[in-house]
Amino acid sequence: MAMLEVKVDGLALDMTTNSPVIILAPLNMNKVLPIWIGHTEAWAIAMELSGIGSKRPMTHDLLKMIITALSAQVEKIEITELKEQTFYARVIIKSNGNVIEVDARPSDSIALALKSGAPIFVDESLFNLKESDTPTDISNDPESLADRLKKINPEDFGKYSL
The per-residue pLDDT string of the chain (162 residues; one tens digit each, 9 = 90 and over) reads 799 999 999 899 888 888 999 999 999 888 999 999 999 999 999 999 988 888 888 888 999 999 999 999 999 999 999 999 899 999 999 999 999 999 999 999 999 999 999 999 999 999 987 554 555 444 445 445 445 444 444 444 444 333
**Domain parsing of the chain, residue ranges:** 3-157
> How far is it, in rounded angstroms, from Cα 92 to Cα 113?
10
Instruction: Give the architecture (CATH level 2) of 3-157.
Output: Roll (3.10)
Q: Distance of alpha carbon 28 from its chain centroid, rounded?
A: 18
Note whether 128 and 118 are within 8 A (CB).
Answer: no
Report how far residue 106's alpha carbon sits from residue 3's, in angstroms, rounded to the nearest whole number.
15
Antiparallel, parallel or unpaired: β 33-36 and 19-26: antiparallel
Closest CA to 110 of 16, 3, 8, 13: 8
